Structure 1
Amino acid sequence: MNAPKSICIIDDDPIYQLITKKIIEKSQLFSQILSYKNGKVAIDSLKAIQSAEEFPDVILLDIDMPEMDGWAFMNELQRMDFGFEKKPAIYIASSSIANEDREKANSFPEIVGYLCKPIDRDILERIHLENPKD
């Protein structure tokens, strides 16, 4: 089994995105990095994907974003039919430590983990090991 090939960052903080991308690149754990500034841009881009190979293996999703927050993104993602079986492993990546957010994350079967920002190499390695791909 091979490790996940692509990772997607959905977050409105450009500094966080830049730093996280650099950590991912330096780790060499993922071959492709996608990034979107909010859930709406991400959903629109994901809807345009034509094959399972193009779809991200892992999504790091922020909760609090303008235009479409993480919860609205999850609701929209659940309604979508991509026409292929591949499902990404979705991790909430948030600075929120509120129990309500963790409980809400648990209500989505697609969300496999709740990570506190900032994301570091140890977290990426854990994600990498938890999500082997054929």
Structure 2
Amino acid sequence: MKDKIHLACIIDDDSIYINLIKKIIETKKLCENLLVFNDGKEGIEYFEALLQNLDEKNIPEVILLDINMPIMDGWEFIERFTKIKNKFNSHITLYLVSSSIDVRDIDKAKSLSTVENYLVKPVKIDELEAVFNKTA
């Protein structure tokens, strides 16, 4: 088994969800560090800036991405992220996390090679542990 995940990233505008997930990650010691962005634009700007200075320790190994957010939603983030993902030397695993149970959203997510899986909110503790243990 690989070492514990060094850095994970949450891109979501729901502060209650963010606090819950942060607490679970901290309590279960699922990763060492956590980045939080409140919309896709903040998130994609971070990744695009990383391309200028590929410092491995600043590249998240896991991204938990919401679909419905203001400014830039999850679909727009994925569209831009897909164009730059292969420029990173690290493997980045992206999970869509949404309260949407719309089959069209789930099918669309599962059809994208950039997306590892689709998780429905509220995410269960064992699902979150599986995400981090699968990547570790």
Corresponding letter in the other structure for 1:59: I
**What is the aligned counterpart of 1:93 among 92, 97, 101?**
97
- After the TM superposition, which of the residue ranges 12-21 and 60-69 deviates more from structure 2? 12-21
The match for 1:69 is 73
Deviation of 1:40 after TM superposition, in Å, equals 0.2
5+ unaligned residues in a row in structure 1: which ranges?
A: none
- Whole-angstrom distance in 2 between the partners of 1:52 and 1:110: 20
Counterpart residue number, 1:21: 22
Residues 9, 81 of structure 1: CA spacing in aligned structure 2 closer, same or farther, 3 A cutoff?
closer
- Higher relative contact order (CA closer than 8 Å, sequence separation 6+): 1
Alpha carbons 1:63, 1:69 under 8 Å: kept: yes
Identity %: 38
Shift of 1:47: 1.7
Structural RMSD (CA): 1.5
Greater shift in the superposed pair: 87-96 or 77-86:
77-86
Which structure 2 residue ranges, 5 or more long, are not aligned?
A: none
C-alpha displacement of 1:122: 1.0
User: How many angstroms apart in 1 are the aligned matches of 2:32 and 2:106?
Assistant: 29
Residues 7 and 57 in structure 2, CA contact (< 8 A), matched pair in contact too: no
1:85 Cα deviation after fit: 2.0
Larger proportion of helix: 2
Q: What TM-score does the superposition give when structure 1 sets the normalisation length? A: 0.90
Q: Distance in 2 between matches of 1:81 and 1:5?
A: 18
Q: Is the 8 A contact 2:4 2:32 kept in 1?
A: no
2:57 paired residue number: 53
Could you tell me the TM-score, scaled by structure 2's length? 0.89
SS at match of 1:90: strand
Find the aligned partners of 1:125 and 1:16 in 2 and give their Cα distance: 16
